[in-house]
Chains A and B, each alone.
Chain A
Amino acid sequence: MRRLIFLLPLLLFVAHNATAQFVTSGAISYERKVNLPRQYDDEVPEWMKRNMPKVQATSFALAFTEAKSSYMPDKENNQASGQWLAPGQDNSVYQDYRGKTITASKQVYEQRFIIRDSARRLTWRILKEERTIAGYQCRKAVTRICDSVYVVAFYAYDIPVSGGPEQFGGLPGMILELAVPRLYATWVATKVESKALGDGDIKPVSGKGKTVNRTQMMREISGSAAAKGKMGIKALWWNSL
Chain B
Amino acid sequence: MFRFKSKYFFAFLPCVVLVVGVFFLPRFIDAATGLTIRPVKVSHTIKPGESVSGVIHLSSASDGEPINVEASVEDFIPVAGAEGIQFVGRAPGVTTVRDWIDLGGKKVFDLKQDEQVEIPYTVTAPENAEPGSHFGVAFFKATRPDSFGEGGGLSIGTRIGMLILITVPGNHLQKGNILGFTGPAFVQKAPVDFQIKFENTGTVHFEPKGTLTLRNMFGSEVGRVPIEGQTVLPTGIKDINVSWEVKGWLLGRYSATAVLYDGEGVAVTTGTITFWVIPIWYLLGFLVAVLVLFVILRWLKRRVRISLVSP
A in complex with B: no
